Structure 1
Amino acid sequence: MYFHIFISNCNHLADILLLLFSDLRVTVLIISAILGVYWIFYVPCNWTKSLQSVGYMPAVNSINFWKRINSCKQHSINGFRRPRLIGITELPPPYPNGWYCILESSSLIAKNVTYVSCLGEHFVVFRTFDGQVNVLDAYCPHLGANMGLNGQVKGDNIECPFHQWSFRGSDGTCANIPYSHTEPKGIKVRKWICREINDGIFIWYHSENEKNHWELPFISAVDNKELVFHGRNEFYINCHIQEIPENGADLAHFPSIHKAFLLTGLEKRGEHLISRIVQHHWEAIWSTSVSPKTHVATLDLKHSIHLFPKFNILEVNVQAKQIGPSFVHLHLKSSLFGQIEILQTITPVEPLIQKVVHRFYAQKFFGPLIKLMIFAESVMFERDIVMWNNKTYRSKPQLVKEDAAIKNFRNWFSQFYTENSKSFLESRSALDW
């Protein structure tokens, strides 16, 4: 709808400009300039990469074999992943207990139904007429139809597309069987604890089926629209979920991976001329919180850009709150662009495939700078993805005293595993039917 309104307004603008300027070329240039300014300030950007796009090199050297690149890339990816399965018994359970973002709020309008598969589960997510979001098990208990595909919202219920059985969003009980006079006692699907907060739809996952022990924080600047949404990035990564937040406690990786200027590639980045002129410098401290917020860890980060490399030309202070296994709230402050909030969510699509999304919020008039920041953050994050996509997990790594934060992180993260947390082998076998 908004797109059609935008196009209609553009057509009216073009008619007015043609009346003012007889030269079509001038009109085209003016319209292009206006659209460019509008995009920079008002249109959120979307940096999206698939699993094959980052961190794997195609197994061909000649650019003439374009038709072979995708197949060769997939072959290379499979080649990297196979040897990493050696020693899989070292892996922690792939689905830690906690809150997980299974959908962004903007993806679900009123009366819409969506199917989501993650965490080894299958969900039907739907929004009722009054805007309430409900999450149930996707498969109907009758004959197993997927209610997330062509299911319909009827009041506060979800109606199965196969035989029109309907289930209450509030508790998952069967509310109606249209062709039966029998009261559907005891028929229900699982109702998942869910929250819509910070522009995301989250569910509580726990291997012992325990109720949520803690709540996600309400970020007021995001929910009250004090800060504007400027864009997002999205990546799929081939690793265990624990390895992504562990990066924050791996303090030694910052100068190794992220020192070189963002416009240089990861390969031979230290040899690049521009890396001798412009460098990123990092100072980091990782810590845990005390009771009752033992589920929270904090990374205090000071990021500066140096020229030649003595002159500090930009400084950004970052506080990253790791809240549970999958949610990170990054609060950035700088004299150049003020306050920025970045929300990171990690969702295990499969035991060793993670969907990672960053959403960026800042004041409206910082649009151009925030788009540059989204580019910069995406490039830096892709450097980490190259490592994650090609490494193996070490349950007992050889650490030195300077790596103490990694050991502390693993002790802290272990609280999200419990006795009945499914192992990697159990979780993977559930996919092989």
Structure 2
Amino acid sequence: MAVGNDLPQARDRHRPGGDPERQPPYPSGWFFLALARELTPGRVLTRRLADEDVVLYRTADGRPYAVRPYCPHLGAHFGAGGTVEGQNLVCPFHHFAFAPDGTCVSTPDGRPPRAHVEHHTIRERNGFVFGWYAPDGKPPAWDAPETAPPEVRATASWGTEIHAPAQELAENSLDYRHLPVVHQVTLKELDPPQAEGPYLRTRLRLGPAGPGPLTRFQVDHSFLMAGLGCLRIEQPLPLLGVVVYLWALHTPTAPARTRLHLAAACADMRPARTAARSSLRRPLHRALARTMLRLAVGKVRDDIPIWNAKRHEPRPRLTVGDEAIGLYRHWVRQFYPTP
């Protein structure tokens, strides 16, 4: 399932939630920038993070890098025609070359100037490239985690733009009240939310609501939030001998705008005894990942009109049954600058 943007652009001031005074600032954390398979050696990509372009590239030895977009010589944008030659990023305007440490190492016609390109800190995890962002420019306060076994890679993905801050999207999984109302889903809390520094974990048993035999089909879901940028859901399916992983990745791109990227992967609950058996099951894994992603996208499409029209309530009037939201709101404070 291809990544795409299926929402029309809108001017935030015409929206109830578009008042800048109501919006939380950009949070610090690790945010999705690209699929690792998109960033092939020699390729240059431009992605948006916190209202700025980030230029990503992979050198000949396979290492990924991310830099601020403008060449310090005369301001050309590396993402608008820049290239990679061996280990160096080359500016499209005058072909000044910059080494992986950011220093200018060559020009076509003379000694390179004392120029330096500023890098972003990035990590590759489970087939995703994450970039660190902090409003105060401080280095990472925690490392981007593997949210699934290291060998697991997402094989199906989908993305769109949402007119809401990242905090709103991540909060959705702890808003238990909306699940039966919007998604026709029953739930049972197996483990209440537990905050562990920048991580938040919970476990729910979910199943379809309404009459009929499908209501008996319930699956345990383990939720892990790594900051406000990454939500991973783990679903074991013992009858098939597999585990399905779903990711909801939230990247703040502009005030009150978030790029939402959903991805899915499937893996055996037990390692295959032989390489031949593993390769035979690979098509099943891919098919299950695509199916689970379609189901997840269908649920998200129910949320999108609400997200796009609602406003952020910095002091929500919570009631009985909203305890998980209250804990979440307390937990997210660590990702924002201290007032």
Shorter-chain TM-score range: 0.7 to 0.9
Equivalent position amino acid for 1:354 in 2: T
The residue that corresponds to 1:327 in the other structure is 230
Contact 1:249 1:286 in 2 (8 A): no
CA RMSD of aligned residues (A): 2.3
Structure 1 residues 215, 307: CA separation in 2 closer, same or farther (over 3 Å shift)?
A: same
Query: 1:288 aligned to 2:187?
Result: no
The residue that corresponds to 1:145 in the other structure is 76
The residue that corresponds to 1:123 in the other structure is 54
The residue that corresponds to 1:213 in the other structure is 141
From 205, 212, 217, the counterpart of 1:314 = 217
Equivalent position amino acid for 1:137 in 2: R
From 358, 372, 378, the counterpart of 2:262 = 358
Query: 1:257 aligned to 2:179?
Result: no
Q: Give the Cα separation in 1 of the matches to 2:288 and 2:46.
A: 36
From 314, 317, 322, the counterpart of 1:395 = 314
SS of aligned partner of 1:242? helix
Contact 2:180 2:209 in 1 (8 A): no
The residue that corresponds to 2:113 in the other structure is 184
- Unaligned segments of structure 2, at least 5 residues: 268-281
1:132-161 deviations in Å (ceiling 9; x for gaps):
111111101111100112112122211111
Equivalent position amino acid for 2:151 in 1: N
SS of aligned partner of 1:255? helix
Structure 1 residues 199, 366: CA separation in 2 closer, same or farther (over 3 Å shift)?
A: closer
Identical positions, percent: 25
- Unaligned segments of structure 1, at least 5 residues: 1-44, 53-73, 260-279, 421-433
* Per-residue deviation, 1:361: 0.9
Residue correspondence of structure 1 range 17-416 to structure 2 within 5 A:
45-46=1-2, 48-52=4-8, 77-78=10-11, 82-84=14-16, 87-93=19-25, 95-169=26-100, 171-181=101-111, 184-185=113-114, 187-219=115-147, 221=149, 223-225=150-152, 229-259=154-184, 280-284=185-189, 286-290=192-196, 294-305=197-208, 308=211, 312-337=215-240, 338-363=242-267, 364=282, 365-416=284-335
Structure 1 residues 85, 325: CA separation in 2 closer, same or farther (over 3 Å shift)?
A: closer
SS of aligned partner of 1:89? helix
Q: Give the Cα separation in 1 of the matches to 2:177 and 2:33.
A: 32
Q: Give the Cα separation in 2 of the matches to 1:100 and 1:341.
A: 18
Structure 1 residues 327, 191: CA separation in 2 closer, same or farther (over 3 Å shift)?
A: same
Structure 1 residues 51, 189: CA separation in 2 closer, same or farther (over 3 Å shift)?
A: same
TM-score of the pair, normalised by structure 1: 0.69
Q: Give the Cα separation in 2 of the matches to 1:315 and 1:362.
A: 18
Q: Give the Cα separation in 1 of the matches to 2:5 and 2:91.
A: 33
SS of aligned partner of 2:166? coil
Q: Give the Cα separation in 1 of the matches to 2:138 and 2:127.
A: 25
The residue that corresponds to 2:274 in the other structure is none
Contact 2:82 2:90 in 1 (8 A): yes
SS of aligned partner of 1:153? strand
